Amino acid sequence: MESKSKLVYLFFLLIFMGLAPAKAQVYEISLLTCSPGDQLYSSFGHSAIRVRQVVPEGEDLVFNYGTFDFNAPNFYGKFAMGQLDDYYLSVTSYADFIREYDYYQRDVREQVLALSSGQIDFLLQHLWAQYDPARRFYRYEFFFNNCSTKIRDAFEIAMGDQLVWDDSVKAEEKTFRNLIDEYVYPLPWADFGIDLALGSVIDRDATEREEQFLPEYMEAAFAKATIVGEGPSRPLVKESRVILEYPKTESKMDFLNPYTVMWSVAILFVLVTFFGHKKKKLLIGFDLGLFSILGILGLVVTFLWFFTVHSATLWNWNILWAFPGHLVLVWGLLKKEYRPWVRQYLLFALIMADAAVVFWILGWQSFHPSLIPILLVIILRTNYLYYNIADRKLKTA
């Protein structure tokens, strides 16, 4: 009888041990990477986590940290101030998620991850805890707290030291600004606006881990990563699949882009200066328009640097040429008689524009390339006005 009891015990033990690896296969965890879209908010691509229950009629869900609502109260105001806490983790069906990207004809790739049952359990506990209404919202920060970095952080929390990133070989050093430029080149005005708004703090080289704020870079990092512990060391990605793929279309820059506009402005001011010199006129009306626009841009730069909590808008040396004080110069130029300070301010504006060129050459901040003609215009007009504005014989119009 005793031997029979042992055999029965051994039988059920073997059954239990046989079911254990089956349990590990109940869930399949994948990283979904979506190609960039046509709009600025989608131009950097997207990432999400797929959780598929590998049983007949099992759940197939997508955890998405990139959900937001444009209609949320004061959405744009909080975005401008760097206090946007309306991004949140949503959970939707895989079918609905794919349907949306199929509609917009954006590629979707999947990396199936070689997680153990314990790692899957930790990850699911973390994701469902994050989905709690009290926790699902988070403060969005483009470089360090976005839809991609939240996913990376979730895996690091769930796996700890068992997740090893391979950053031993880096093909090319890239700054945060270089990384952004790769994606916004097809949107030249957006590229110009980003370079205007963001300061020199993004002109440092990003580490491989920091590059993961971009979905495609995180996809590449996952492909090189390794799992150690809970079984033999193995690649993090055990299988890659292409879910959606569409023909690539070449993006063409519109004719009215920052380069054509800025060089057109430069040519205009060269002609204005030439004919003004020939006709003994200052043609000050053109300067009123120029420095008004530069002053308004300076207000934007100042606001983003000093009055918001954006970390990427600090130390923005665009303020050397787009300076709020230029509005005071406009006020001074509108006077019938020019005060001595107007000429002194013109010299100050000239030095500031020259300093911007020096900062650019020394690599202290990378400005948008279309600004070359504008800097030349500022240098040209401040020089011309400085040396001629004191001559009362010259007409202002």
Q: Which has more pLDDT, 83 or 64?
A: 64
pLDDT tens track for 342-360: 999 999 999 999 999 999 9
Q: Who contacts 78 (Cβ-Cβ below 8 Å, separation ≥6)?
A: 84, 85, 86
H or E segment to which residue 170 belongs: none
Amino acid at 260: T
Tell me what pLDDT residue 226 has.
96
Q: What is the largest CA-CA distance in the chain?
A: 124
Per-residue confidence at 251, pLDDT binned at 50, 70, 90? confident
Residues 210, 205: Cα–Cα separation, whole Å = 9
Per-residue confidence at 79, pLDDT binned at 50, 70, 90? low
Q: Return the beta strands (E) in 173-222 as ranges.
A: none
CA distances from 137 to 76, 87, 131, 302, 311 (A): 16, 6, 9, 29, 20
| Average pLDDT rounded to a whole number, residues 250-274 | 91
Asked whether residue 121 carries a pLDDT value surpassing 50, the answer given is yes
Residues 365, 359: Cα–Cα separation, whole Å = 6
CB contact at 8 A, 33 and 108: yes
pLDDT tens track for 202-237: 999 999 999 999 999 999 999 999 999 777 899 999
H or E segment to which residue 209 belongs: none
H or E segment to which residue 93 belongs: strand 87-93
| Average pLDDT rounded to a whole number, residues 261-268 | 97
Q: CB 67: neighbour CB atoms within 10 A?
A: 16
Residues 305, 378: Cα–Cα separation, whole Å = 23
pLDDT tens track for 24-54: 458 999 999 999 998 888 899 999 999 999 9
Entry pTM: 0.86
H or E segment to which residue 275 belongs: helix 258-279
CA distances from 320 to 138, 187, 266, 349 (A): 35, 25, 18, 8
Tell me what pLDDT residue 9 has.
41
Q: Give 237's strand partners.
A: 113
Tell me what pLDDT residue 44 has.
94
pLDDT tens track for 126-148: 999 999 999 999 989 999 999 99
Asked whether residue 82 carries a pLDDT value surpassing 80, the answer given is no
Tell me what pLDDT residue 168 has.
76
Instruction: Name the DSSP class of 361.
Output: H
Q: Give 46's strand partners.
A: 34
Asked whether residue 14 carries a pLDDT value surpassing 60, the answer given is no
Sheet containing strand 163-164, strands side by side:
163-164, 226-227, 234-235
CB contact at 8 A, 114 and 164: no
Backbone angles phi, psi at 180, to 5 degrees: -65, -45
Residues 346, 356: Cα–Cα separation, whole Å = 15
pLDDT tens track for 175-197: 999 999 999 988 899 999 999 99
Per-residue confidence at 77, pLDDT binned at 50, 70, 90? low
Q: Which has more pLDDT, 177 or 20?
A: 177
Q: Which has more pLDDT, 58 or 112?
A: 112
In order of their start, the domains of the chain are: 2-167+207-244 (3.90.1720), 258-388 (no CATH)
- Which two structure tokens, joined as six digits, stand for 396? 């202002």
Burial class (CB in 10 A: 0-12, 13-18, 19+), 252: exposed
Residue the block writes with tokens 């002194």: 344
